[in-house]
Amino acid sequence: MRNPIVRLLVVVPVVGLLLAGCLTAAWFAIGRPAPANAAIWFKVQKVDAAARFADNPTQPFFVLVLGNDGRTDADPGLGDAEHIIGVNPATGDASMIDVPRDTEAPNGGKINSYHPNGGLPANVAQLNKMMGINISYAMTTNFPHFIDMVNAIGGVDIDVTEPMVDSDSGADFQPGHYKMDGDSLLAYTRDRKSYPAAGDRQRTVNQGTAIIAALTTLRAQNPGVAGTIRLTSILAQHVKTDGLSLTEMFDLGRLALSIDPAKVKNVLLPTGAGSGTNLSVAPEAKDLFADFADDAILQRH
Amino acid sequence: MPGFRRTTGRIAAVTVAGVLAAISLPILDALPAGAAKAPKSPVTVTPGDANIFTVAGTPPAFPDDVKAAVLAAIAAYLKAASLTAAQKGASDATGLATLLTGPAAARLTSTDRATLLDEGLPRATGKVKITTAPVTLTGLADPDGHVVIVNAAIDATTVLPTRSGNVTVKRTGDLVFAPDNGTWKIQGYTLTSERTGKKLGVTPTTTAPAGSTATSATPATTTRTVTK
C-alpha cells in the first residue's frame, strides 16, 4: 500500500551502515516508495569488475563500508569511518574489521586521505594491499545522507555502556538504551573525546556497533524474501550504483538480511604509534589479516 | 413378421445411439480442452495475492503471463521433487534441471537436498496428492516495468498412502524465481519440510547449515517428525 504520508525509511550506520555486504547499509529503508526524484543517500560501487555474485553465490567476498565526512554532495569527504566486512555465504557468517581513520596506508599517508583523492577505488586499493584481500563492493555515505537514512527507518537501537559527552560531535548520552535518530547516531559514531585513552579507536569500534545495530533493525522490519523485495525497491531509489544491477542488489540484500547480526564479529584493527599523528598497523595484525583473508571470517580473533 | 422385427430393432438401436450422443456431446464439450483425455493432475497449485514493487513510477499490475509461468513452475517443481520421488523413490532429476538455475541446482548436492526433495520416503502404494494453500507472489520490477524477481510464498502439502498408512509432507517457505533464458526458474529458496507418518525411513531431523544463504543458498531446514 502506498500511502502518500508514509515515508520511506532506510538506514545505514555511520560509516556507512550496512552490513555484510555492500548494500548493506542499504537495507536500512522502509516504508513506501519515494518519489521518482528521491535523494541519493549512498553510493554503491562494484570495485572488482570480475566480481559476479550471482554466478558464485557461495564464494566468500569483502565489502568496504565507508562513512565520509562530506557535508555536501560536492565534497567527497575524508574516509573517516572505514569498515571492511567479510561475508561467507556458504556458512551465513560475517566478520568486520574496523580501521581507525589515522591508520597509515601501505602507500603512505593516512587511510582516510585516499577517498577524497581517488574515490572508493583508491581507498579500496590501499585496504586490499594492507590486508591481502580483494574487496568486491564498496559503499559510502556522507553526514546529511546518513542522517536521512537513519531517520527514514525510524532510528536504530543502541546500548550506551559508559557516559558519552562531547560537544564537538554533539554526543550527550548516559549509559542506557537509546533509539537513536539520525543526528544522535551520527554523534554517537563521531564521538572520540569521551574516551581519553582509546579516543579514535573506541569511536571506530562504536561505528562498527552502529552498523550491526542497523542491520538488526532492518532485519526486524523486513522479514522474509518479500521484505527484501520491498526494501530493494525503496533503496534502489536512493542509491547511486556503479556496476551493480537491480537483481544483484536484491541478491546481496537478501544475503545481508539473512545474516544473524549477533554472530557478526566486530574487531578493531590493532595499531600502534606511527609517524606524526599516524597510527601504524601493529605486527599482530598480520595474523588477523590471514584469518580474514582465507574465508572472509575471523575464527581466531 | 421377421422383417418388421429387424426394422424395429434397427430403429431402437439408432434411437439409443442418438440419445447417448445427445447426452454425451454437450458434457464433453463443456470440459476443458484435453480434459477428456488427460487424467486430473495430482498437483493443485492455488493462486493467491500477487503484489509488485517497482523502483520507479507507479507499480504496474502483476503481469498475467509472469504469474501463470511462475505458478506452472511451482507445480512442476512439486511434481518433480515430491510426487515423482514418492512414486518412484527418486526425484525427477531431468525435470528439476529445467526448473532451477545453475547455482541453485548446484545446491542439490548439499544438505539442502533433504529439504528440497522427498527422497527416501516409503514408496507410495496409491494415488499421491499435492495441494497448496493460496500462493502469494511478490515481484520486483525494474525502472522499465520488467519483472526481474518473483517470490512465491508456498505452503504445500503432499499426502502419500503407504503400507504403513499415510505419510504427509508439509513444505512451507519461499521460492525465489528469476528469468532464465526465457523461462522462470528457482534461483533461491527458504524452505522448511516437515514429514509425519509411520516408518518414514529417513533421518528424523536434519537441518541445512544455519544461515547458508545466497542467491541460491538460502537457509533450508528440514524437520522430520516420526510417529511410531
Q: How close is the nearest chain A Cα to the Cα of B223, in Å?
A: 19
Burial environment of residue B1 by CB neighbours within 10 A (0 to 12, 13 to 18, 19 or more): exposed
CB contact under 8 Å between B209 and A93, yes or no, is no
| A86 against A5, higher pLDDT | A86
Contact status of B109 with chain A (Cβ, < 8 Å): no
> Does A17 score more than 90 pLDDT?
no
CA distance B197 to B189: 25
> What pLDDT, on the 0 to 100 scale, is given for residue A38?
67
Half-sphere exposure of A231 (CA within 13 A, CB side): 35
Q: How close is the nearest chain A Cα to the Cα of B201, in Å?
A: 28
CATH code for the domain of B105? 3.10.450
> Does A34 score more than 80 pLDDT?
no
> What pLDDT, on the 0 to 100 scale, is given for residue B5?
59
Strand ranges of the sheet holding A79-88, from the earlier edge strand across to the other edge: A239-242, A42-46, A135-141, A61-68, A79-88, A93-99, A265-268
A101 grid coordinates? 581513520
Examine the domain organization and report whether B206 and B156 are in the same domain: yes
CB contact under 8 Å between B214 and A232, yes or no, is no
> What pLDDT, on the 0 to 100 scale, is given for residue B224?
39
Half-sphere exposure of B192 (CA within 13 A, CB side): 8
Which residue in this structure is represented by grid cell 426394422?
Answer: B7
> Does A116 score more than 60 pLDDT?
yes
Segment B218-228 mean pLDDT: 37
Segment A152-165 mean pLDDT: 93
CA distance A32 to A38: 12
> What pLDDT, on the 0 to 100 scale, is given for residue A265?
95
Nearest to A77 by CA among A127, A117, A25, A135: A117
Considering CB atoms only, which of A2, A229, A255 is closest to B138?
A: A229
CA distance A163 to A171: 9
Q: Is B120 left (phi over 0), alpha (psi -120 to 50) or beta?
A: left
> Does A5 score more than 70 pLDDT?
no
Q: In Å, how far from its chain's centre is CA A281?
A: 21
Tally Cβ neighbours within 10 Å of residue B223: 15
Q: Give contacts of A52 with chain B, Cβ < 8 Å.
A: none
CA distance B182 to A46: 27
pLDDT tens digits, B151-193:
999 999 999 999 989 999 999 999 999 999 899 999 998 888 8
CB contact under 8 Å between A233 and B53, yes or no, is yes
Examine the domain organization and report whether B20 and B50 are in the same domain: no
Dmax (CA) for chain B in angstroms is 90
Nearest 5°: the CA angle A73, A77, A82 is 120
Distances in Å between the Cα of A283 and the Cα atoms of A105, A278, A287, B119, B175 are 14, 15, 8, 53, 47
Please report, rounded to a whole number, the percentage of residues in chain B having pLDDT higher than 90.
37
Average of per-residue pLDDT values in chain B: 77
Segment A182-188 mean pLDDT: 96
CA distance A278 to B109: 50
> Does A208 score more than 90 pLDDT?
yes
SS3 state of residue B212: coil
Q: Tally the residues of chain A.
A: 301
Interface of B with A in 79-108 (CB under 8 A): 103
> Does B40 score more than 80 pLDDT?
no
> What pLDDT, on the 0 to 100 scale, is given for residue B220?
43
B75 grid coordinates? 507445480
> Does B37 score more than 60 pLDDT?
no
Per-residue confidence at B113, pLDDT binned at 50, 70, 90?
Answer: confident
> What pLDDT, on the 0 to 100 scale, is given for residue A21?
39
**Residues B196-221 as b or e (16 or more Cβ within 10 Å = b):** ebeebebeeebebbebbbbbbbbbbb
CB contact under 8 Å between A90 and B209, yes or no, is yes
> Does B208 score more than 50 pLDDT?
no
Residue B43, strand partner residues: B130
Contact status of B14 with chain A (Cβ, < 8 Å): no
| A128 against A1, higher pLDDT | A128
Q: How close is the nearest chain B Cα to the Cα of A103, in Å?
A: 33
SS3 state of residue A288: helix
Which residue in this structure is represented by grid cell 587511510?
Answer: A111
Per-residue confidence at B149, pLDDT binned at 50, 70, 90?
Answer: very high
Segment A120-132 mean pLDDT: 98
Q: How close is the nearest chain A Cα to the Cα of B110, in Å?
A: 10
Examine the domain organization and report whether B19 and B30 are in the same domain: yes
Structural domain total, chain B: 2
B11 grid coordinates? 430403429
Per-residue confidence at B205, pLDDT binned at 50, 70, 90?
Answer: very low
Which residue of chain B is at minimal alpha-carbon distance from A261?
A: B211
Examine the domain organization and report whether B192 and B215 are in the same domain: yes
Examine the domain organization and report whether B21 and B84 are in the same domain: no
> Does B216 score more than 90 pLDDT?
no
Examine the domain organization and report whether B56 and B136 are in the same domain: yes
Q: Are A43 and A240 in contact (CB under 8 A)?
A: yes
Segment A1-21 mean pLDDT: 42
Domains in chain A, CATH or no CATH each? 9-295 (3.40.630.190)
Examine the domain organization and report whether B142 and B220 are in the same domain: yes
Per-residue confidence at A243, pLDDT binned at 50, 70, 90?
Answer: confident
Q: What is the interface size between A and B, counted as CB pairs within 8 Å?
A: 105
Per-residue confidence at A8, pLDDT binned at 50, 70, 90?
Answer: very low
Half-sphere exposure of B61 (CA within 13 A, CB side): 3
Considering CB atoms only, which of B51, B142, B153 is closest to A246?
A: B142
CA distance B150 to B176: 6
Residue B1's domain comprises 1-38
Q: Give contacts of A236 with chain B, Cβ < 8 Å.
A: 55
CB contact under 8 Å between A57 and B214, yes or no, is yes
Segment A22-38 mean pLDDT: 40
CB contact under 8 Å between A258 and B148, yes or no, is no
- How do beta strands B147-162 and B165-180 pair? antiparallel
> What pLDDT, on the 0 to 100 scale, is given for residue A90?
86
Please report, rounded to a whole number, the percentage of residues in chain A having pLDDT higher than 90.
70
Considering CB atoms only, which of A57, A225, A250 is closest to B216?
A: A57
Examine the domain organization and report whether B153 and B179 are in the same domain: yes
Examine the domain organization and report whether B14 and B49 are in the same domain: no
CB contact under 8 Å between A89 and B217, yes or no, is yes
Q: Are A138 and A45 in contact (CB under 8 A)?
A: yes
Q: Give contacts of A58 with chain B, Cβ < 8 Å.
A: 103, 214, 217
Average of per-residue pLDDT values in chain A: 87
> What pLDDT, on the 0 to 100 scale, is given for residue B12?
55
Q: How close is the nearest chain B Cα to the Cα of A194, in Å?
A: 37
Q: Give contacts of B218 with chain A, Cβ < 8 Å.
A: 225, 254, 258
> Does A4 score more than 80 pLDDT?
no
Examine the domain organization and report whether B12 and B102 are in the same domain: no
Considering CB atoms only, which of A2, A58, A232 is closest to B140?
A: A232
H-type alpha helices, A167-265: 182-190, 200-221, 224-235, 246-258
Q: Give contacts of A260 with chain B, Cβ < 8 Å.
A: 211
Contacting residues for A108 by C-beta, under 8 A, at least 6 apart: none
> What pLDDT, on the 0 to 100 scale, is given for residue B187?
92
Contact status of B138 with chain A (Cβ, < 8 Å): yes
Examine the domain organization and report whether B95 and B195 are in the same domain: yes
CB contact under 8 Å between A226 and B57, yes or no, is no
- How do beta strands A79-88 and A61-68 pair? antiparallel
> What pLDDT, on the 0 to 100 scale, is given for residue A2?
47
Q: How close is the nearest chain A Cα to the Cα of B107, in Å?
A: 10
Per-residue confidence at B94, pLDDT binned at 50, 70, 90?
Answer: confident
Contact status of B57 with chain A (Cβ, < 8 Å): yes
Segment A224-243 mean pLDDT: 91
Per-residue confidence at B8, pLDDT binned at 50, 70, 90?
Answer: low
Examine the domain organization and report whether B6 and B116 are in the same domain: no
Contact status of B49 with chain A (Cβ, < 8 Å): no
> Does A134 score more than 70 pLDDT?
yes
Q: Which of A54-58, A176-180, B8-12, B77-81 has the lowest mean pLDDT?
A: B8-12
Considering CB atoms only, which of B141, B210, B215 is closest to A57?
A: B215
Strand ranges (E), chain A: 9-10, 29-30, 42-46, 61-68, 79-88, 93-99, 135-141, 156-160, 164-166, 171-173, 176-180, 239-242, 265-268, 271-273, 279-281
> What pLDDT, on the 0 to 100 scale, is given for residue B140?
96
